[in-house]
Amino acid sequence: MLSESQKKRLITAAIYAPSADNSQPFQFRWQNDNTLELWIDPTRSGKASDNRFVLSDIALGAVLENIIVCADSFPLSTQIEYFPDGVQNELFIASIYFLPAERALDASDDLVGEIPKRCTDRRFPFKGPIKTQTIELLTNAAKQRDCDLLSFACKKTIKHVLPVIQQAETIRFKSKILHQELFSTVHFNNTQTEEGMPISVLAIEKPAQPMFKLMKKWSVMNFVNKIGGAAMLGFRSVRIPILFSPALVLITMKGKDRLSVIKAGRAIQRVWLQASQQGLSVQPYAAPGIFSLGYIACEDELKSQLDAVATQMRNIVNNNSATNDYGLMFLRIGYNKAVQHRSHRRPVESFVKN
Ligand SMILES: Cc1cc2nc3c(=O)[nH]c(=O)nc-3n(C[C@H](O)[C@H](O)[C@H](O)COP(=O)(O)O)c2cc1C
CA of 120 to the centre of ligand 1 (A): 6
101-110, 136-145, 172-181, 289-298: which range is least confident on average?
Answer: 101-110
Q: How far is the C-alpha of 275 from the C-alpha of 120, rounded, in Å?
A: 12
CA of 238 to the centre of ligand 1 (A): 14
Check which CATH number belongs to the domain holding 146 and give it: 3.40.109.10
Helix residue ranges, H only, 49-189: 54-73, 132-143, 155-174, 176-183
Strand partners, 26: 40
Segment 281-303 shows an average pLDDT of 97
pLDDT tens, position by position, 193-232: 999 999 999 999 999 999 999 999 999 999 999 998 888 8
Ligand 1 closest atom vs CA 18? 19
CA of 122 to the centre of ligand 1 (A): 10
Q: For ligand 1, atom 12, which residue shows the shortest CA distance?
A: 284
Q: For ligand 1, atom 21, which residue shows the shortest CA distance?
A: 22
Please report the pLDDT score of residue 110 as a whole number.
Answer: 85
Please report the pLDDT score of residue 157 as a whole number.
Answer: 97
In a domain, 340, yes or no: no
Q: For ligand 1, atom 26, which residue shows the shortest CA distance?
A: 119
Confidence of residue 109 (pLDDT cuts 50, 70, 90): low
CA of 110 to the centre of ligand 1 (A): 23
Ligand 1 test: best mutation among 12, 15, 16, 21, most atoms within 8 Å of CB?
21
Residues in CB range of 232: below 8 A, 6 or more apart: none
Please report the pLDDT score of residue 15 as a whole number.
Answer: 98
Same structural domain, 75 and 180: no
In a domain, 121, yes or no: no
Q: For ligand 1, atom 3, which residue shows the shortest CA distance?
A: 20
Please report the pLDDT score of residue 108 as a whole number.
Answer: 53
Same structural domain, 318 and 195: yes
pLDDT tens, position by position, 225-274: 999 888 888 899 999 999 999 999 999 999 999 999 999 999 999 999 99
In a domain, 354, yes or no: no
Segment 14-43 shows an average pLDDT of 98
Same structural domain, 111 and 160: no
CA of 18 to the centre of ligand 1 (A): 6
Confidence of residue 190 (pLDDT cuts 50, 70, 90): confident
In a domain, 52, yes or no: yes
Same structural domain, 187 and 316: yes
Ligand 1 closest atom vs CA 17? 27
Same structural domain, 223 and 196: yes
In a domain, 343, yes or no: no
Please report the pLDDT score of residue 104 as a whole number.
Answer: 66
In a domain, 351, yes or no: no
Segment 314-340 shows an average pLDDT of 96
In a domain, 352, yes or no: no
Helix residue ranges, H only, 175-302: 176-183, 209-214, 218-226, 229-234, 240-243, 258-277, 287-293
Same structural domain, 140 and 256: yes
The reported pTM is 0.98
Please report the pLDDT score of residue 150 as a whole number.
Answer: 98
CA of 206 to the centre of ligand 1 (A): 21
Ligand 1 test: best mutation among 15, 19, 271, most atoms within 8 Å of CB?
19
Domain count, the chain: 2
Same structural domain, 142 and 95: no
Ligand 1 test: best mutation among 120, 170, 309, 340, most atoms within 8 Å of CB?
120
147-156, 202-211, 224-233, 309-318: which range is least confident on average?
Answer: 224-233
Confidence of residue 191 (pLDDT cuts 50, 70, 90): confident
Confidence of residue 185 (pLDDT cuts 50, 70, 90): very high
Range of the domain at 329: 132-334
Q: Would you tell me how many other CB atoms lie within 10 Å of the CB of residue 75?
A: 12
Residues with CB under 6 A from ligand 1: 18-22, 55, 58-59, 62, 119-120, 122, 197, 283-287, 342-343
288 to 99, 178, 259, 332, 348: CA distances (angstroms): 39, 14, 20, 13, 32
